[in-house]
Structure 1
């Protein structure tokens, strides 16, 4: 796995790293149900595991989620296990607690293959939504439900990204990543993605 979440090919007019940063995307992960190991990029490793030095190394889930807030961890673990059993879209919003005591709200979106699936790897992104939480109700419970039709579109885009694994065409992969970015931005602008968050 490449440690950088997304690399920009030459000649494209889009500054993808700047767009990702402006959208709050802070990291990416991959998950192998067969090996039960997670690989985080540097941003995800810093926020979820508290150690950017773990980037690119297969690590157990216990380490990969060691900075998830203790109050949110049980519901998140149950939700992830349920998604892993059936495979499909994984969506969760939860808090992280850094070793220095900083609390951040994370929107975690990805697609996970079923444990018995021949598809080897699941992928996802984590987005910092702390500012949205400060503007809205910071005490609202963590959310682990999919949203609406945009969630279905993201699910399909992630399937496309999975299908491109092993295809050495960075432009195709970039286009899918840009689609995922735009879908995430659309969700962030909807009432369900901002103030209308639901409990689990």
Structure 2
């Protein structure tokens, strides 16, 4: 099987799986708005709920996020609940603490969907373990390129707007982030072309 990713390049499915593994993908989640329940795959159930045996079982959000670090729980639940009312892009970085005491930094990204009447119906997402990158020494802002600085500021702006829960502001920042991502991608491709 082949996938047509980003630039129309065709890669075998095992290349996609290798890329996902290398990028820290841990697992996926699905959320039902009408029942306020989550379904996690085995990886997500292990990291988020502390029990891979819960994979595929509808569970309440509180149980699905049982391993979220106590210092990060309130902000995470507030952000998710706000999107549970409005729908939209969900992006959160938080820590998890396993029953054995392992601390991880998780990037959780997904989308909450609405039907034609505007009712929030469901959501889907993916979690990545970014523990290694969160320990990396940050590049001082003055040493970053203007595009990288702009992206960093836009991400911080998006986080603040998530706390506000204002849907039209969230949409505007999402559009800015999309456009910045396109420019960053173009810049990376141009740099890669210079190396060949």
**Residues 35-90 of structure 1: per-residue CA shift (max 9 Å, x gap):** 11000001100000000110011000111000000000011111111111111001
Alignment partner, residue 129 of structure 2: 128
Alignment partner, residue 33 of structure 2: 33
Q: SS at 2:100's partner residue?
A: coil
CA distance in 1, matches of 2:31, 2:118: 13
CA distance in 1, matches of 2:57, 2:2: 24
Structure (1 or 2) with the greater strand fraction? 2
Is 1:84–1:114's contact at 8 Å kept on the other side of the alignment?
Answer: no
Alignment partner, residue 84 of structure 1: 84
Q: SS at 2:83's partner residue?
A: helix
CA distance in 1, matches of 2:76, 2:22: 26
CA distance in 1, matches of 2:176, 2:22: 20
Q: 1:68-79, aligned counterparts within 5 Å?
A: 68-79=68-79
Q: 1:158-173, aligned counterparts within 5 Å?
A: none
TM-score (norm 1): 0.63
Q: SS at 1:44's partner residue?
A: helix
TM-score (norm 2): 0.64
CA distance in 2, matches of 1:23, 1:68: 21
**Residues 81-130 of structure 1: per-residue CA shift (max 9 Å, x gap):** 11111110011000000000000000000001359845632100001110
Is 2:114–2:121's contact at 8 Å kept on the other side of the alignment?
Answer: no
Deviation at 1:152, TM superposition (A): 4.2
In the alignment, does 2:81 pair up with 1:61?
Answer: no
Q: SS at 1:71's partner residue?
A: helix
Higher relative contact order (CA 8 A, sep 6+): 1
* Unaligned runs of at least 5 residues, structure 1: 1-7, 138-142, 154-181, 190-200
Alignment partner, residue 18 of structure 1: 18
Q: SS at 2:12's partner residue?
A: coil
CA distance in 1, matches of 2:2, 2:48: 28
**Residues 147-197 of structure 1: per-residue CA shift (max 9 Å, x gap):** 7657548xxxxxxxxxxxxxxxxxxxxxxxxxxxx99xx6xx9xxxxxxxx
CA distance in 2, matches of 1:107, 1:70: 16
* Unaligned runs of at least 5 residues, structure 2: 4-9, 139-155, 163-172, 189-196
